[in-house]
A and B are shown apart, each in its own frame.
Chain A
Amino acid sequence: MRALVAMSGGVDSSVAAALMLDQGYEVIGVTLKQWEGPDGTMPVAGCCTLSDAEDARRVAAQLDIPYYVLDYVEEFTAAVVEPFAQGYLDGLTPNPCIECNRNVRFDALLDRTTDLGCDVLVTGHHARIAEIDGTFRLQRAVDGTKDQSYVLHMLDQKALSMVKLPVGEMTKIMVREYAATMGLRTAAKPDSQDICFVTSGDYRDFLRNTHPEVAAPGAVLDTDGAVVGQHGGTAGFTIGQRKGLGVAVGEPRYVLDIAPRDRTITIGRYEDLLVDDCVVTDMRFTDLPPSEGDRVQVKLRYRSEPVEATITRAGETWHFLFEDRQPRPAPGQALVMYEGEFVLGGGTIVDARKRVGVSG
């Protein structure tokens, strides 16, 4: 059996490649070139840089496996970078890692796996895939603090049957220890936190460079519509944001709403932020979809605990009624459904509402 390992140059995918060798696979390492500098060179700042590719290449050489860089710049730009910028311009809070997984890594690259003569696609994500009674299930990682099952919710049965996530069975400490034992150069490399194509570490700088119109100033409103301040562009804000509002009113204020067309943001108290349900589209499922009336746990952002919710549906639009009111999730982020340890699927949040007279 032959495994295609997507190597980012980080410790997790380095160890994933080594583990597949341990399991007796013939292994091929690849790095996806996803974006580039103006002259076609690989970026030197951010993640997925030339130096990351060199780390991956050196690890591959150490493991004595063939290694290639695959050009996915066009796919990545169209499916991830452009929607990311457009999303912010539209007042959303996009999740580029999910778009990348959805359209590049587990779509375009999965299609290539067979073409490249490989049987399975391997990544260094922290999550598990379990085969239970003939069904593949996506499960949280052994290391709860590193669990990435949220960003993998789009994997369907076909994908789950072809993907392997060997480091999901290990804690991060074990992964680093394993890498150190093997003498891999990435053993102590820090985890990447940033969005790979945002070199400065601040997505606002990236937007200002690519779309100068994001810096159009506008008014900060309170819940009554009164102007309480000014802001330097709606794209700098996320629903629920508390810091950096530039308005001092004595007690904490949160971004409740973003209206790019009017160039306004509305702020209010924490209670004003709470909503009863949220509306989700573009749903994907790991297996059969859950039914109307089912209660599931949902994660509304990457780093948050799941909360209980009940499903109602209107065609392809799904409504999740929270058991307890929740701070308004940011449109553009993913809602991911869990059943205990297992991921059922998820989609993109388009709206969240307060229902007068309804309590979960």
Chain B
Amino acid sequence: MMTHTYLDHAATTTLRPVARVAMAEAYASANANASGQHGPARTAKNALELAREQAAELLGSSRPLDIVFTSGGTEADNLAVAGVALASQRRSIVVSAVEHDAVLRSAESMQRFGYTVTKIGVDMSCVVDPGEVASFVGPDTAVVSVMAANNEIGSIEPIKAIVEAVKSVDDSIPVHTDAAQAFVSEVTTVGSTSADLISLTAHKFGGPKGVGLLVVNPSVRLDPVMHGGGQEAGRRSGTYNVPGIVGMVAAMKEAVAQRDVFRMKVGRERDAFEESLSAWLPTAVVSGSSKQRMVQHSHVRFPGVLAETLLIRLDQEGIAAAAGSACQSGAVEPSHVLTAMGMSDTAAGECVRFSFGWDTPTGQGQAAAARVANMMRELT
């Protein structure tokens, strides 16, 4: 098989060796069911609670029990939106229009139980206006959810200002932020976001797939969405995935420790990619604002070329990139994010996301830009 130049780190990134090692060790030494009443179970439970303490510390929380481990970002988002709404007497859910489907679909699923869903628009750079969010919340708002950074464009949302704006209307409204995409490059703590609920998923920052967490402020009431044995203090049932959780926290530690290096190194590759691409292919248009954007994302529109076609050509040339969101069958669907940014369907169908990661080699950005530009010349 061809070795691809992997520019799809936002979809999932390379497993960090520290996570792989930590998981292998946990599978060997902490593989018992952590809920049991025996020595091996206690060993597993200790590993689990140590991981919880470390995760809390890395997220700036002084209460480890605020961390609820989940099967990933999607479950964390469902718990934050549906779980909080279900526990509330209020019947309105407010989300941004550019949330991940895990938040949008979860909110929409509550409509059948009588909840209303309000979607807040974004500007042309995919940024939410805190004042606008505040204008849509009120005494019936059960939960607000705005992502820390957008997974397609890479735009960074003013989450702290959004929380402040919401709380200035009614400080009892819980605010959730999906930080799945942001965590690897943006400082993400309880303090930095002021959010009551924060979702993370391990595989976006170099941990294993199928593990994530939700930070829950104890002031927030929440009904479980996974029912069963009552693990996670009744907030999320299911046998503890101790090795996965240990692997996630190992990756988290490294991601936080290396965040500055990531921002510098990955940012340099991304910038080189965009500068070279613009020089060689002046028709290419980079989406989002240059200031409020994460360092690892490059979302580019190639006018006149269908993204679906371009992705296949790129794949043939050994470059892995992404467009829109892949549906169950694998067809490329138009993106609700681009529509919300005011792009026409045609323009939205011409956009490709290139995303860089912690192990992107030096020089790859510029080299990839040259290959993309060459291919585009062939196509147009």
A50 to B312, CA, bound (A): 20
Smallest Cβ distance from B183 to chain A, in angstroms?
29
Contact with B along A249-291 (1 / 0, CB 8 A): 0000000000000000000000000000000000000000000
Q: Is A134 an interface residue (CB 8 A)?
A: no
Select one of A33, A112, A117 contacting B331, CB under 8 A. Answer: A33
SS class, residues of chain A in contact with chain B? mixed
B328 contacts the other chain (Cβ, under 8 Å)? yes
CA A68 to CA B314, docked complex, whole Å: 13
A69 & B309 in contact (Cβ 8 Å cutoff): no
**Using Cβ atoms and an 8 Å threshold, which residues of chain A touch B308?**
68, 70-71
Q: Name the contact of A28 in the complex, choosing from B312, B332, B333 (C-beta under 8 A).
A: B312
Chain B 295-315 against A: per-residue CB contact (8 Å), 1 yes, 0 no? 000000000001011001101
Residues of B within 8 A of A40 (CB): 327, 333
At the interface, yes or no: A180 with Cβ under 8 Å from chain B? no
| B contact residues, range | 10 to 19
Contact call B332/A117, Cβ cutoff below 8 A: no
Q: Which B residue's beta carbon lies closest to that of A73?
A: B331
Q: Is B89 on the interface with A (CB-CB < 8 A)? A: no
Q: How far is the CA of A263 from the CA of B368 in the complex (A)?
A: 64
CB-based contact A115/B329 at 8 Å: no
Q: Output the least CB separation between A128 and chain B (Å).
A: 29
Question: Are A68 and B328 CB-contacts (below 8 A) given A40-B333, A115-B379?
Answer: no
Contact B313 A69 (CB under 8 A): no
- Residues of chain A with a CB closer than 8 A to B168's CB: none
Residue from A57, A66, A68 having most chain B Cβ neighbours under 10 A: A68
Contact B328 A42 (CB under 8 A): yes
The answer to whether A117 and B329 touch (CB under 8 A), given A70-B308, A71-B308, is: no
Q: CA A115 – CA B306 in complex, angstroms?
A: 9
Q: Is A116 an interface residue (CB 8 A)?
A: yes
Chain B 330-372: CB-based contact to A (< 8 A → 1; otherwise 0): 1111000000000000000000000000000000000000000
Q: Write 15 A-B pairs (CB below 8 A) sorted by A numbering.
A: A28-B316, A33-B329, A33-B331, A41-B329, A50-B329, A66-B312, A66-B315, A68-B308, A68-B312, A69-B331, A70-B308, A71-B308, A71-B332, A112-B309, A117-B316
Which chain A residues have a beta carbon within 8 Å of chain B's beta carbons? Answer: 28, 31, 33, 40-42, 50, 53, 57, 66, 68-71, 112, 115-117
What would 6 more interface pairs be, CB under 8 Å, given A40-B333, A41-B329, A53-B330? A28-B312, A33-B331, A68-B308, A69-B329, A71-B333, A115-B306
